[in-house]
Amino acid sequence: MQKTFSFDQTLTVNRLGYGTMQLPGKGVWGPSVDPDNAVAVIETAIDHGVNFIDTADAYGPLYANLYLREALKQRPNSQVMVATKVGFTRQGPNQWIPLGAPAYLRQQVELNLMTLGLDHIDLLQLHRIDPNYPLADQIGELAKMQEEGKIRHIGLSQVSVAQIQAAQKIVPIVSVQNRYNLIDRKDEAVLNYAEANHLAFIPWFPLATGKLAQGEQLQAIAKRYNASPAQIALAWLLKRSDVILPIPGTSSTKHVVDNIAAQDIELSQADFDTLDQLGRQQQ
């Protein structure tokens, strides 16, 4: 199993990263109930080898970015690749409405730079494609900011293969962030396309195990590796494809360490196949 992924000749990351979505308040709205802990979780991830961190302006909004900025300030020598996203508006807890107006996307890229304390963004992903605006206008605005040196790489989120291909005609695309886990593999075709074209596939909601967590077979497999069901779910993703970069999120320092330990679990092919079949049965 390959433990790293290269975005370009100078930018290589450990495949198991961290996602900041769980750090803001309930409904991904407002500040954390414990801002110091939110920063400590990110610091703990970095201290345990995570160098790929996913965030978004919509998380809080902006609070997750501020916690990440403080953690990076406390770890000035860390070589962390920051991926963030633009393209959602927020009206309250658990409310998300896409907006792909080019001026809005530009504004949000600038706000990401300001709140993260960065002079450029390593990976900027369009959080959602807004059907109310031409794709060329949305991706084109990001391409302009790439030419300005504010964005290094561009990616997409929750898209189809056809949408990736359409975007690739406008600008190089290096990543896709779709929902994918052991029991939810509706986007298998997107993953296969990413694998064939060396695009990073960043699965959000990677820890889902559903009823499998209470099942005897998953419990037995986890016991063999002295692991939790969540760790086994992450190990399965890492073995599934070398282009998968899981970004499990948590607001617990203990859980972030537990999640990172999953990268050291080498599932046998037999256990991988068993999990694969069990997961398909639950879809």
184-217 confidence digits (pLDDT tens): 999 999 999 999 999 999 999 998 877 777 788 9
Q: Give the pLDDT confidence of 112-124 residue by residue, as tens digits.
A: 999 999 999 999 9
Q: Give the pLDDT confidence of 89-102 residue by residue, as tens digits.
A: 999 999 999 999 99
Of the residues 18, 59, 67, 193, which is catalytic?
Answer: 59
Q: What is the pLDDT of residue 209?
A: 79
| CA pair distance 145, 102, nearest whole angstrom | 11
Kindly list the domain boundaries of the chain, sorted by start residue: 4-282
Residues 6+ apart with CB under 8 A from 283: 183, 184, 185, 186
What is the average pLDDT across 154-177? 98
pTM equals 0.96
How many other β-carbons are positioned within 10 Å of the β-carbon of residue 164?
19
Candidates 22, 35, 28, 71; CA nearest to 51 is 71
Q: Is 59 a catalytic residue?
A: yes
In this predicted structure, the answer to whether residue 283 has a pLDDT above a threshold of 90 is no
Candidates 163, 173, 229; CA nearest to 201 is 173
> What percentage of the chain has pLDDT greater than the value 70?
100
Q: What is the pLDDT of residue 213?
A: 77
What is the average pLDDT across 176-188? 95
What is the overall mean pLDDT for the chain? 96
* Whether domain 4-282 has CATH 3.40.50.720: no
Q: Give the pLDDT confidence of 22-61 residue by residue, as tens digits.
A: 999 999 999 999 999 999 999 999 999 999 999 999 999 9
Q: What is the pLDDT of residue 208?
A: 82
Q: Which residue has the tokens 């809080």?
A: 60
